[in-house]
Protein backbone atom coordinates (compact mmCIF):
# COMPACT_ATOMS: atom_id res chain seq x y z
CA UNK A 1 0.00 0.00 0.00
CA UNK A 2 1.10 3.54 -0.73
CA UNK A 3 0.23 6.41 1.54
CA UNK A 4 -1.03 9.21 -0.67
CA UNK A 5 -2.55 11.50 1.93
CA UNK A 6 -1.94 11.91 5.65
CA UNK A 7 -3.70 14.68 7.53
CA UNK A 8 -3.72 15.66 11.15
CA UNK A 9 -7.29 15.61 12.47
CA UNK A 10 -7.33 16.30 16.21
CA UNK A 11 -5.42 16.03 19.49
CA UNK A 12 -7.16 15.46 22.77
CA UNK A 13 -6.89 13.89 26.18
CA UNK A 14 -10.32 12.28 26.27
CA UNK A 15 -11.28 9.18 24.38
CA UNK A 16 -14.87 10.38 24.23
CA UNK A 17 -13.75 13.34 22.12
CA UNK A 18 -11.86 11.25 19.55
CA UNK A 19 -13.30 11.25 15.99
CA UNK A 20 -16.62 9.43 15.77
CA UNK A 21 -16.01 8.14 12.27
CA UNK A 22 -16.16 4.36 12.00
CA UNK A 23 -13.03 3.66 10.01
CA UNK A 24 -10.23 1.24 10.93
CA UNK A 25 -7.77 2.59 13.45
CA UNK A 26 -4.19 1.58 14.33
CA UNK A 27 -2.43 2.99 17.39
CA UNK A 28 1.24 3.30 18.24
CA UNK A 29 2.14 2.81 21.86
CA UNK A 30 5.33 2.13 23.82
CA UNK A 31 7.76 3.70 26.24
CA UNK A 32 8.50 7.40 25.91
CA UNK A 33 11.23 8.08 23.36
CA UNK A 34 10.96 4.66 21.68
CA UNK A 35 10.16 6.36 18.35
CA UNK A 36 6.36 6.26 17.94
CA UNK A 37 6.01 9.73 16.42
CA UNK A 38 9.11 9.30 14.23
CA UNK A 39 7.69 6.07 12.83
CA UNK A 40 4.42 7.78 11.93
CA UNK A 41 6.39 10.42 10.03
CA UNK A 42 8.46 7.76 8.28
CA UNK A 43 5.39 5.76 7.22
CA UNK A 44 3.57 8.84 5.94
CA UNK A 45 6.61 10.43 4.23
CA UNK A 46 6.38 13.56 6.38
CA UNK A 47 9.06 15.23 8.45
CA UNK A 48 6.88 16.83 11.08
CA UNK A 49 3.38 15.45 10.84
CA UNK A 50 3.79 13.97 14.33
CA UNK A 51 5.93 16.01 16.73
CA UNK A 52 9.16 14.30 17.81
CA UNK A 53 11.87 15.14 20.32
CA UNK A 54 15.13 13.76 21.72
CA UNK A 55 13.60 14.18 25.17
CA UNK A 56 11.03 11.67 26.42
CA UNK A 57 7.50 12.88 27.06
CA UNK A 58 7.02 14.86 23.85
CA UNK A 59 3.64 13.44 22.82
CA UNK A 60 1.14 14.21 25.57
CA UNK A 61 -2.19 13.71 23.84
CA UNK A 62 -4.09 11.25 21.65
CA UNK A 63 -3.38 12.37 18.07
CA UNK A 64 -5.48 11.21 15.15
CA UNK A 65 -4.08 11.22 11.61
CA UNK A 66 -6.31 10.27 8.70
CA UNK A 67 -4.57 8.18 6.07
CA UNK A 68 -5.70 7.91 2.44
CA UNK A 69 -9.04 9.30 3.64
CA UNK A 70 -10.09 5.88 4.94
CA UNK A 71 -8.21 4.83 8.07
CA UNK A 72 -6.61 6.39 11.15
CA UNK A 73 -3.11 6.21 12.54
CA UNK A 74 -3.00 7.26 16.19
CA UNK A 75 0.04 8.64 17.98
CA UNK A 76 -0.18 8.17 21.74
CA UNK A 77 1.89 9.49 24.63
CA UNK A 78 4.54 7.11 25.89
CA UNK A 79 4.29 5.19 29.12
CA UNK A 80 7.02 4.71 31.68
CA UNK A 81 8.06 8.32 31.83
CA UNK A 82 5.45 9.62 34.25
CA UNK A 83 5.59 8.29 37.78
CA UNK A 84 5.79 4.57 38.02
CA UNK A 85 3.95 2.54 40.62
CA UNK A 86 3.80 -1.18 41.13
CA UNK A 87 0.18 -1.59 40.17
CA UNK A 88 0.04 -2.21 36.44
CA UNK A 89 -2.97 0.04 35.95
CA UNK A 90 -1.39 3.06 37.50
CA UNK A 91 1.88 2.52 35.63
CA UNK A 92 0.11 3.51 32.44
CA UNK A 93 -1.51 6.92 32.34
CA UNK A 94 -5.25 6.63 32.84
CA UNK A 95 -6.19 7.99 29.46
CA UNK A 96 -4.00 5.47 27.69
CA UNK A 97 -5.88 2.60 29.34
CA UNK A 98 -9.16 4.48 28.72
CA UNK A 99 -8.25 4.71 25.07
CA UNK A 100 -7.58 0.98 24.76
CA UNK A 101 -10.63 -0.01 26.74
CA UNK A 102 -13.13 2.26 24.98
CA UNK A 103 -11.96 2.76 21.43
CA UNK A 104 -14.10 0.38 19.42
CA UNK A 105 -12.62 1.44 16.10
CA UNK A 106 -9.19 0.17 17.14
CA UNK A 107 -8.24 -2.75 14.90
CA UNK A 108 -4.73 -3.36 16.10
CA UNK A 109 -2.17 -1.69 18.35
CA UNK A 110 1.54 -1.61 17.62
CA UNK A 111 3.67 -1.91 20.74
CA UNK A 112 7.04 -0.34 20.04
CA UNK A 113 10.17 -1.74 21.66
CA UNK A 114 13.69 -0.29 21.35
CA UNK A 115 15.68 -3.10 19.69
CA UNK A 116 18.82 -2.11 21.60
CA UNK A 117 17.61 -3.07 25.05
CA UNK A 118 16.80 -6.27 26.88
CA UNK A 119 13.14 -6.93 27.63
CA UNK A 120 11.92 -4.33 30.13
CA UNK A 121 9.31 -5.17 32.75
CA UNK A 122 7.12 -2.24 31.85
CA UNK A 123 6.81 -3.43 28.23
CA UNK A 124 6.14 -7.00 29.30
CA UNK A 125 3.52 -5.72 31.73
CA UNK A 126 1.92 -3.62 29.03
CA UNK A 127 1.73 -6.59 26.67
CA UNK A 128 0.27 -8.69 29.49
CA UNK A 129 -2.35 -5.97 29.96
CA UNK A 130 -3.14 -6.04 26.22
CA UNK A 131 -3.44 -9.82 26.35
CA UNK A 132 -5.75 -9.75 29.39
CA UNK A 133 -7.85 -7.03 27.74
CA UNK A 134 -7.94 -9.07 24.50
CA UNK A 135 -6.69 -6.19 22.39
CA UNK A 136 -4.91 -7.41 19.25
CA UNK A 137 -1.36 -6.13 18.97
CA UNK A 138 1.85 -6.49 17.02
CA UNK A 139 5.37 -5.70 18.19
CA UNK A 140 7.60 -3.23 16.40
CA UNK A 141 11.30 -3.29 17.23
CA UNK A 142 12.53 0.27 16.58
CA UNK A 143 15.85 2.02 15.93
CA UNK A 144 17.30 -0.93 14.00
CA UNK A 145 19.93 1.40 12.48
CA UNK A 146 21.58 1.64 15.89
CA UNK A 147 22.83 -1.98 16.10
CA UNK A 148 24.20 -4.65 13.75
CA UNK A 149 22.08 -7.21 11.93
CA UNK A 150 23.59 -9.99 14.05
CA UNK A 151 22.61 -8.18 17.24
CA UNK A 152 19.12 -7.52 15.91
CA UNK A 153 18.60 -11.24 15.41
CA UNK A 154 20.00 -12.18 18.82
CA UNK A 155 17.97 -9.48 20.59
CA UNK A 156 14.77 -10.69 18.92
CA UNK A 157 15.55 -14.29 19.87
CA UNK A 158 16.15 -13.20 23.48
CA UNK A 159 12.91 -11.23 23.43
CA UNK A 160 10.90 -14.20 22.23
CA UNK A 161 12.47 -16.36 24.92
CA UNK A 162 11.50 -13.83 27.56
CA UNK A 163 7.93 -13.72 26.29
CA UNK A 164 7.62 -17.50 26.37
CA UNK A 165 9.02 -17.38 29.92
CA UNK A 166 6.23 -14.88 30.68
CA UNK A 167 3.64 -17.46 29.64
CA UNK A 168 2.91 -16.29 26.10
CA UNK A 169 1.93 -19.33 24.06
CA UNK A 170 2.80 -17.56 20.84
CA UNK A 171 4.55 -14.38 19.78
CA UNK A 172 2.41 -11.78 18.02
CA UNK A 173 3.43 -10.63 14.53
CA UNK A 174 6.52 -8.47 14.76
CA UNK A 175 8.37 -5.96 12.60
CA UNK A 176 11.83 -4.39 12.66
CA UNK A 177 12.02 -0.72 11.74
CA UNK A 178 14.36 2.22 11.42
CA UNK A 179 12.75 5.61 10.96
CA UNK A 180 15.99 7.15 9.80
CA UNK A 181 16.57 4.51 7.10
CA UNK A 182 13.01 3.58 6.18
CA UNK A 183 13.48 -0.03 7.25
CA UNK A 184 10.28 -2.00 7.72
CA UNK A 185 8.05 0.54 6.00
CA UNK A 186 6.81 -1.70 3.18
CA UNK A 187 6.20 -4.70 5.46
CA UNK A 188 4.25 -2.64 7.96
CA UNK A 189 2.09 -0.90 5.36
CA UNK A 190 1.44 -4.21 3.64
CA UNK A 191 0.34 -5.72 6.95
CA UNK A 192 -2.06 -2.83 7.63
CA UNK A 193 -3.40 -3.11 4.10
CA UNK A 194 -4.08 -6.83 4.57
CA UNK A 195 -5.86 -6.25 7.88
CA UNK A 196 -7.89 -3.41 6.33
CA UNK A 197 -9.14 -5.81 3.63
CA UNK A 198 -10.32 -8.41 6.14
P1 LIG B 1 7.28 10.36 23.22
O2 LIG B 1 6.34 11.15 22.38
O3 LIG B 1 8.07 11.21 24.14
O4 LIG B 1 6.62 9.23 23.93
O5 LIG B 1 8.41 9.70 22.26
P6 LIG B 1 8.24 8.92 20.87
O7 LIG B 1 8.11 7.47 21.15
O8 LIG B 1 7.19 9.53 20.04
O9 LIG B 1 9.68 9.13 20.21
P10 LIG B 1 10.09 10.15 19.06
O11 LIG B 1 9.56 9.71 17.76
O12 LIG B 1 9.81 11.54 19.50
O13 LIG B 1 11.67 9.87 18.98
C14 LIG B 1 12.51 9.98 20.13
C15 LIG B 1 13.94 10.17 19.68
O16 LIG B 1 14.42 8.99 19.04
C17 LIG B 1 14.15 11.30 18.67
O18 LIG B 1 15.38 11.93 18.96
C19 LIG B 1 14.21 10.58 17.34
O20 LIG B 1 14.95 11.26 16.37
C21 LIG B 1 14.89 9.27 17.73
N22 LIG B 1 14.48 8.16 16.86
C23 LIG B 1 13.23 7.71 16.64
N24 LIG B 1 13.22 6.67 15.80
C25 LIG B 1 14.51 6.46 15.45
C26 LIG B 1 15.16 5.51 14.58
O27 LIG B 1 14.55 4.63 13.96
N28 LIG B 1 16.52 5.61 14.49
C29 LIG B 1 17.24 6.53 15.18
N30 LIG B 1 18.57 6.53 15.04
N31 LIG B 1 16.66 7.44 15.99
C32 LIG B 1 15.32 7.40 16.12
MG1 LIG C 1 5.78 10.94 20.46
Which residues have beta carbons under 5 A from ligand 2 (an ion)? 36-37, 58-59
pLDDT in tens, 150-182: 999 999 999 999 999 999 999 999 999 999 999
Assembly ipTM = 0.99
Residue 85 has pLDDT above 80, yes or no: no
Whether 188 contacts 140, CB under 8 Å = yes
Question: Which numbered atom of ligand 1 lies nearest the CA of 144?
Answer: 27
Q: Whose CA is nearest to atom 20 of ligand 1?
A: 54
54 lines ligand 1 (CB under 6 A): yes
Parallel, antiparallel, or unpaired: how do β-strands 71-75 and 62-67 relate? Answer: antiparallel
Range list of H helices, 51-112: 88-91, 94-102
pLDDT in tens, 23-72: 999 999 999 999 999 999 999 999 999 999 998 888 889 999 999 999 99
Specify the fold of 6-197: Rossmann fold (3.40.50)
How many whole angstroms from its chain centre is CA 197?
Answer: 21
Task: Determine the pLDDT at residue 56.
Answer: 87
pTM of the predicted model as reported, rounded to 2 decimal places: 0.95
Distance CA 166, CA 40 (A): 29
Residue 81 has pLDDT above 70, yes or no: no
Q: Whose CA is nearest to atom 12 of ligand 1?
A: 52
Per domain, the residue ranges of the chain are 6-197
DSSP state of 183: B
146 lines ligand 1 (CB under 6 A): yes
pLDDT in tens, 16-27: 999 999 999 999
Amino acid sequence: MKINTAEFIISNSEVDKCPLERIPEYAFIGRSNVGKSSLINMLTNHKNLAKTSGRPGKTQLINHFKINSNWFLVDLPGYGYAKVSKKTKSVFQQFITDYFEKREQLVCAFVLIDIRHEAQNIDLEFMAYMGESEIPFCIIFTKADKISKVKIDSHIAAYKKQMFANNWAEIPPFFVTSSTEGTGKDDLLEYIDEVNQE
